[in-house]
């Protein structure tokens, strides 16, 4: 089976893990600091705060922007559940906005409609889904006009770019995940980026029990720290990220060249100003065909995944909060049509050719 995801673990990761084990300092330490600095520099921000996972990074990012109970935070309707859950962790209310059916990212017209309708919106939490950045020029114009805090959920967008600027460097804060299936990983892990010195200071307290110094706790904090072991993996992974991105783009380009003329599916849309890093290579296929297509791929030894099979507000817990189906029609339609196929850098050339041949051979 050609899996839809395949983490790469090489000699450098093993070497650095051994160094950490030999040091006997397994919790946060110099490897965490080095990883924070190198990832922030890569993305083009001043500060990086490593966290235990992408969800804790999102929660910390919202807190750093001052999101508190009863605040309103506008976000996309189509993402992994952690995007919306992190807003609830703050006691705030998620305001869901529909997506652009071409990019799967937040619909800018619907976003402004929500900003006009909802009073006192504290923040907007955008998601760069599947490795494609949102239209940051348009979003920054809205930020200037309406005065909200901007948080980037870049958990799927390591190295993605808008007009040659890295995802995670546009907002007041941003959050990344280093889960094992991401374009680079630490097993579990995350990071918050910012250019604001005060946010950085507060964020470091938030993820470390509210500490100021060793034994003084001046704010409510959490245990969201990353370990040296995880950071060591991240240091090694970051060194290889650009080469892996190049391979993902190469694989995606081959797919696009051969799938564009297939009438039963739609290939990913790539705006001119964006570098899509293809955390997922996501096709659209008619909902009546999707299950049959997935079974066909599996019967030919090709893995696939659906990200995501429902919008966040249609999850049972969110229905209990009063959210109703039909709120975001394009997102709901997307959830019925998306399917992702392998695009990761571990795929061999003969496997790419096999995937192409199998997809081309699908009969409706």
Q: In what order do the strands lie in the sheet with 121-127?
A: 47-51, 190-194, 173-177, 149-153, 121-127, 72-76, 93-97
The phi, psi pair for 342, rounded to 5°, reads: -60, 135
Asked if the model's pLDDT at residue 348 lies above 90, the reply is yes
Rg of the chain (C-alpha set): 20
pLDDT at 35 > cutoff 90: yes
pTM of the entire predicted model: 0.97
Q: What is the dihedral of CA 98, 184, 49, 94, to 10 degrees?
A: 20
Question: Is residue 119 classed as helix, strand or coil in its secondary structure?
Answer: coil
pLDDT at 283: 98
299 pairs with which residues across the strands? none
| Proportion of the chain above pLDDT 70, given as a percent | 100
Handedness of CA 94, 98, 104, 105 (dihedral sign): negative
User: In angstroms, how far is CA 264 from the centroid of its own chain?
Assistant: 28
Q: Tell me the per-residue pLDDT of 160-200, one tens digit each, with 9 for 90 and over.
A: 999 999 999 999 999 999 999 999 999 999 999 999 999 99
pLDDT at 145 over 90: yes
The model's confidence at residue 364, banded by pLDDT at 50, 70 and 90, is: confident
CA dihedral 176, 182, 188, 191 (to 10 degrees): -20
Calculate what percentage of the chain has a pLDDT beyond 90. Answer: 99
- The per-residue pLDDT for 142 is 98
By the 8 A CB rule, do 39 and 51 touch?
A: no
Looking at residue 332, what is its pLDDT?
98
Q: 37: Cβ–Cβ under 8 A, 6 or more apart, which residues?
A: 48
Tell me the pLDDT of the chain averaged across its residues: 98
Task: Please confirm whether the linkage preceding 308 is cis (ω < 30° from 0).
Answer: yes
């Amino acid at each position: 089976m050609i899996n839809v995801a395949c983490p790469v673990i090489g000699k450098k990761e093993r070497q650095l893990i051994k160094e950490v084990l030999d040091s006997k300092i397994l919790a946060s330490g110099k490897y965490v600091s080095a990883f924070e600095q190198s990832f922030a520099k890569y993305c083009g921000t001043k500060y990086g705060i490593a966290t235990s996972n992408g969800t804790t990074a999102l929660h910390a990012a919202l807190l750093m922007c001052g999101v508190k109970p009863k605040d309103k935070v506008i976000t996309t309707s189509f993402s992994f559940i952690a995007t919306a859950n992190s807003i609830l962790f703050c006691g705030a209310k998620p305001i869901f906005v529909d997506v652009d059916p071409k990019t799967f990212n937040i619909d800018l017209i619907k976003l402004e409609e929500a900003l006009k309708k909802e009073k006192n919106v504290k923040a907007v939490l955008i998601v760069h889904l599947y490795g494609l950045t949102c239209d940051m020029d348009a979003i920054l114009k809205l930020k200037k006009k309406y005065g909200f805090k901007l948080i980037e959920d870049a958990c799927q967008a390591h190295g993605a770019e808008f007009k040659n600027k890295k995802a995670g460097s546009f907002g007041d804060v941003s959050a990344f995940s280093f889960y094992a299936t991401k374009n680079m990983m630490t097993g579990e892990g995350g990071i918050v980026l910012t250019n604001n010195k005060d946010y950085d200071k507060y964020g470091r307290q938030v993820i470390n029990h509210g500490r100021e110094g060793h034994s003084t706790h001046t704010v409510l904090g959490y245990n969201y720290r990353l370990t040296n072991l995880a950071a060591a993996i991240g240091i090694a992974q970051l060194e290889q990220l650009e080469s892996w991105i190049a391979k993902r783009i190469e694989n995606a380009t081959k797919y696009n060249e051969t799938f564009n003329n297939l009438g039963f599916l739609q290939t990913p849309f790539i705006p001119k100003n964006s570098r899509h890093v293809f955390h997922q290579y996501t096709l659209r296929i008619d909902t009546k065909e999707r299950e049959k297509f997935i079974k066909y791929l599996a019967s030919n030894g090709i893995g696939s995944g659906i990200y995501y099979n429902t919008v966040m507000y249609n999850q049972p817990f969110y229905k209990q909060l009063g959210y109703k189906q039909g709120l975001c029609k394009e997102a709901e339609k997307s959830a019925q049509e998306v399917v992702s196929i392998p695009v990761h850098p571990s795929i061999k050339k003969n496997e790419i050719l096999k995937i192409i041949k199998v997809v081309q051979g699908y009969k409706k």
